Amino acid sequence: MKLMQLSRTTAASGQSIFSRQVQTLALLAPALLLAACTSVPLPPWTPPVPRPAQSAPASVEQTVQTFPVAPPAVIAPAPVGQPAPYSAAVAARFPAPAVVYSTPGLQAQRTSFTTQAEIEAWLGDQALAASRAGVSAAVLPVGRSQRGETVQALVLTRATGTDPAALLATGRPTVLLIGQQHGDEPAGSEALLVMARELAQGLLLPVLGRINVVIVPRANPDGAASGQRATTGGLDMNRDHLLLSTPEAQGLARLMRDYQPTVVVDAHEYTAAGRFVEKFGAVQKYDALLQYATTANLPEFLTKAAEEWYRRPMLAALKAQGLSSEWYYTTSSNLADKKLSMGGTQPDTGRNVNGLKNAVSLLVETRGVGLGRLHIQRRVHTQVTALSSVLASTAQRASELGQLRPYIDKEISALACTGEALVESAPTPAQYELVMLDPASGADKTVTVDWDSALALRTIKTRPRPCGYWLSAESGTAAERLRLHGVQVMRVTEFGSVLGENYRETSRAAAERQDVRGTMTGNAPIIKVQVSLMRGLLDVPRGSYYVPLNQPLGNLVIAALEPDTQSSFFANRVLDGLQSAFRVMAEPVFKLEALN
Ligand SMILES: [Zn+2]
């Protein structure tokens, strides 16, 4: 925003926009750096204080932490439709919770989860109920799925309106909860309907005095309708958050850009039996698998906040409900490969890309894929417990979070033109003792596994961090995708030249994108190149683009525009060729205007 104002002011005076901008930032930078070493008002870093279990609920946090309590009871639905994938002894390890949740899809005798039409009606009802309670509420279209279904968001706030400016004006942190990016993972979606009701008219209503909440219960309605992981076109939308080639991912990016949530939670489910039984002769044990953003160039403070302010209280909340949890892990579909991997380190998942947008970004996975309706109340209870913990943590840390985000935004902006940036990093191979379940007896079974840890990233490739990137005039698609992320892109208004680094191709191969599950299906082959850099004075024609790195999303820009990674715009043909972009290595003095 500051960048924008500065640009406009300078444009009016007819001077070179960017030199002024860089000068101003250059003046600010030492102060910022000094402050980072000494007296910057870093968020005070006190670990959460454990609360006595039986203290009377006297504050918002305590009220929230007493949740969940049973909504109106209905008869717990019997598993319908598909046989249990494991023995009764295993199933007995997962008793139904004392709470009975009631959504359209959780009704007794239902064979299908909540339909898209029922979600729409439910969100409308919650918005109405919230309005009666004096809460500003709206159901917004986030976008359209490939089959034309409307993806919807419910906004709940004590702001005077439900538009992004009204929420931002409250100064309160906004939490974005996303469910069912993968269509065959229904517990997240059902749990988010529960959360919507409890926020609008139930036990979570008081938390809206401290935070704003935006809920997208079902991000992939087409996948949900057909019970499949991917979107209609076969693409996994949760690997599309940098490229934004699907309308589903584009819709979420627009929502992120406009509402600027401080915290994002992505609710998923994981495979409990299936390939784990084939590989390890064991069923998976944990009610919840958890992970925060783990990708190159994330600010350290963001990771620390995710760990100390969110994951640890979440572990305690789950434990208090008798629910078990572990770090998130998965395994490839190749049965010969016995390695387990934590969630990936590529900048393509919602978890990682939302981290690169400087949000505290959390993944919550319940054991559910392949289980049909088995243990559905327990799965929903696990999600509701974890998500309620996130809301409570945000309410409790509202003022610190209010300091954290502007600090991180400034810190990243100040890095432009300095030091090294990671181009690529990878998880660290390790061994891990993981508890699984014996498929017959249901007893715990400890397995020592090869384990790719995403908590310790290995550096694969670094480069000096440029001041920004130039894009050719023909790179309109790339410019638009960046802008959809909230990146400020400038247009060159007069021919100029600048010290830059071109990419020279040293090798090229067709390849497939890989994730921790193996080769990703539904994607076109990528162009995998190795490059060297050639430095020189490079022409900057009128009508081409400049993407400065002295902005909060600088790290996301690096992930998109360094070409020699599998997630990049170049590798995935969002950019036409290697010559469509170069690294700008000095303060540009050519004339620019901000795109509106
Ligand atoms: Zn998933």
Distance from Cα 402 to the centre of ligand 1, integer Å? 30
- Please name the residues in contact with 211: beta carbons below 8 A apart, sequence gap of 6 or more: 172, 173, 174, 175, 391, 394, 395, 398
With respect to residue 351, please indicate whether it lies within any of the assigned structural domains. Answer: yes
Q: For residue 304, what are its two tokens?
A: 């620390």
With respect to residue 35, please indicate whether it lies within any of the assigned structural domains. Answer: no
Distance from Cα 228 to the centre of ligand 1, integer Å? 11
Lowest-confidence pick of 57-71, 215-229, 464-478, 557-571? 57-71
Distance from Cα 216 to the centre of ligand 1, integer Å? 15
Decide which of 459, 483, 518 is a domain's last residue.
Answer: 459
With respect to residue 502, please indicate whether it lies within any of the assigned structural domains. Answer: yes
pLDDT digits (tens, 9 = 90+) for 524-578: 899 999 999 999 999 999 999 999 999 999 999 999 999 999 999 999 999 999 9
Q: Which domain holds residue 439?
A: 425-459
At 82, is the pLDDT very low, low, confident or very high (cuts 50, 70, 90)?
low
* Cα distances (Å, whole numbers) of residue 110 to 107, 114, 120, 530: 6, 9, 18, 54
Report whether pLDDT(173) > 80: yes
With respect to residue 252, please indicate whether it lies within any of the assigned structural domains. Answer: yes
Q: Within this chain, do residues 444 and 488 fall inside the same structural domain, yes or no?
A: no
pLDDT digits (tens, 9 = 90+) for 270-320: 999 999 999 999 999 999 999 999 999 999 999 999 999 999 999 999 999
Q: Within this chain, do residues 408 and 272 fall inside the same structural domain, yes or no?
A: yes
Q: Within this chain, do residues 320 and 373 fall inside the same structural domain, yes or no?
A: yes
- Provide the pLDDT for residue 33: 29
Mean pLDDT across 131-153: 98
Of the candidates 574, 567, 572, 571, the one whose C-alpha atom is nearest the C-alpha of residue 347 is: 567
Please report which residue ranges of 333-424 form alpha helices under DSSP H.
350-356, 376-396, 398-414
With respect to residue 167, please indicate whether it lies within any of the assigned structural domains. Answer: yes
With respect to residue 531, please indicate whether it lies within any of the assigned structural domains. Answer: yes
Q: Within this chain, do residues 451 and 433 fall inside the same structural domain, yes or no?
A: yes
Q: Within this chain, do residues 472 and 531 fall inside the same structural domain, yes or no?
A: yes
CB 384 within 8 A of CB 101: yes
**534: number of Cβ within 10 Å:** 12
Q: Within this chain, do residues 439 and 317 fall inside the same structural domain, yes or no?
A: no
Decide which of 384, 414, 444 is a domain's last residue.
Answer: 414
Distance from Cα 589 to the centre of ligand 1, integer Å? 46
Distance from Cα 237 to the centre of ligand 1, integer Å? 10
Residue ranges with CB less than 5 Å from ion ligand 1: 182, 185, 268
Compute the radius of gyration of the chain from its Cα atoms.
Answer: 24
> Quick one: what percent of the chain has pLDDT higher than 70?
86
- Provide the pLDDT for residue 421: 98
- Provide the pLDDT for residue 521: 82
For position 312, which CATH number holds? Answer: 3.40.630.10
Which has the higher per-residue pLDDT, 85 or 388? 388
- Locate the DSSP E strands across 7-80: none
Distance from Cα 130 to the centre of ligand 1, integer Å? 30
Q: Within this chain, do residues 392 and 476 fall inside the same structural domain, yes or no?
A: no
- Provide the pLDDT for residue 81: 53
Distance from Cα 220 to the centre of ligand 1, integer Å? 11
- Burial class of residue 309, CB neighbours in 10 A (0-12, 13-18, 19+): buried
Q: What's the CA gap between 539 and 500, in Å, rounded?
A: 9
At 55, is the pLDDT very low, low, confident or very high (cuts 50, 70, 90)?
very low
Provide the number of structural domains found in the chain. 3
Q: Within this chain, do residues 474 and 355 fall inside the same structural domain, yes or no?
A: no
Q: Within this chain, do residues 287 and 176 fall inside the same structural domain, yes or no?
A: yes
With respect to residue 19, please indicate whether it lies within any of the assigned structural domains. Answer: no
Mean pLDDT across 175-204: 98
Q: Within this chain, do residues 540 and 429 fall inside the same structural domain, yes or no?
A: no
Burial per residue of 492-520, b for 16 or more beta-carbon CB atoms within 10 angstroms, e otherwise: beeebebebbbbeeeeeeeeebebbbeeb
- Provide the pLDDT for residue 29: 33
State how far Cα 399 lies from the chain centre. Answer: 22
- Provide the pLDDT for residue 224: 98
Please report which residue ranges of 284-357 form alpha helices under DSSP H.
300-305, 312-320, 350-356
- Burial class of residue 278, CB neighbours in 10 A (0-12, 13-18, 19+): exposed
Distance from Cα 31 to the centre of ligand 1, integer Å? 43
Mean pLDDT across 462-467: 98
pLDDT digits (tens, 9 = 90+) for 421-430: 999 999 999 9
Which has the higher per-residue pLDDT, 3 or 481? 481
Q: What's the CA gap between 421 and 426, in Å, rounded?
A: 14
Distance from Cα 268 to the centre of ligand 1, integer Å? 4
With respect to residue 376, please indicate whether it lies within any of the assigned structural domains. Answer: yes
Q: Within this chain, do residues 439 and 505 fall inside the same structural domain, yes or no?
A: no
pLDDT digits (tens, 9 = 90+) for 95-129: 999 999 999 999 989 999 999 999 999 999 999 99
Distance from Cα 270 to the centre of ligand 1, integer Å? 7
Q: What is the mean pLDDT of the chain?
A: 88
Distance from Cα 219 to the centre of ligand 1, integer Å? 11
Distance from Cα 74 to the centre of ligand 1, integer Å? 28
At 596, is the pLDDT very low, low, confident or very high (cuts 50, 70, 90)?
confident
Distance from Cα 347 to the centre of ligand 1, integer Å? 16
**591: number of Cβ within 10 Å:** 22
Q: Within this chain, do residues 377 and 496 fall inside the same structural domain, yes or no?
A: no
